[in-house]
Amino acid sequence: MKVSELRQQNKSTLHTMLRDLLKKQFQLRMQHGSGQLKSNQQLRQARRDVARIKTLMTELDNKGESSDE
């Protein structure tokens, strides 16, 4: 998932995407723990996508606070 694509989304869409990614990340962790996960790359990618979305959401929050001043 590219940051440029994520920046075009609104906050509610980002929140929905974050919730879905956290569910996916949980499922991947369970598969990894039980030995069913073939590629650790999927887990790594999900973790990084979650971080990207959280960073963008924080940027949007900070941007909103700075415009209020």
pLDDT in 10s for each residue of the chain, 69 residues: 788 899 899 999 999 999 999 999 999 999 999 999 999 999 999 999 999 999 999 999 998 777 655
**DSSP code, position 36:** -
Q: Which domains, from first to last, does the chain contain?
A: 3-68 (1.10.287)
* Residue-level pLDDT at 43: 94
Contacts of 67 (CB under 8 A, 6+ apart): none
pTM: 0.84
Residue 68: predicted pLDDT: 57
DSSP state of 38: S
Token pair 């940051």 is found at: 3
* 22 close to 46: Cβ distance less than 8 angstroms: no
